[in-house]
Amino acid sequence: MGSLISETKGFTSDSAKVYVMVEQINKRSLGKLIVKVVGHEGCKNAKVEQVLRRQIQTCITHIDNYSQDTWADARVTFLGMDGSAYVIQSGDGKKRFIVRLDARDKIKFVDFQKLSKS
């Protein structure tokens, strides 16, 4: 995964199905996460995997909305339809984001710092 520091497959202490540490979260590391957990674009995927791909792509579209410093110390959790969690983290993961489906099955990108300020 680019500048991969460590990786743990299976369930970890925070219940992540896949937990990946990178030096910095960026479009490239997120693209590699897609290939790792969902497969290449041409792969046939179940609905759960299709949604996960869209969730990671949603995060990719939000990368440019934040400074590079943000992504050097961030943690993004993708909550799958099946209840599984996929986590990518850089640094200590001080800035927290979550990507999930809402009640209408729309993908939501949630920035916890903005939530706490409101």
| Blockwise average pLDDT, block size 10, the chain, 118 residues | 43 67 96 90 82 96 96 95 90 95 93 74
- The H or E element spanning position 71 is helix 68-72
The pLDDT value given to residue 32: 94
The pLDDT value given to residue 53: 93
The pLDDT value given to residue 8: 44
The pLDDT value given to residue 37: 87
The pLDDT value given to residue 43: 77
The pLDDT value given to residue 98: 96
Work out the burial of residue 73: count CB atoms within 10 Å of its CB; fewer than 13 is exposed, 13-18 middle, 19 or more buried: middle
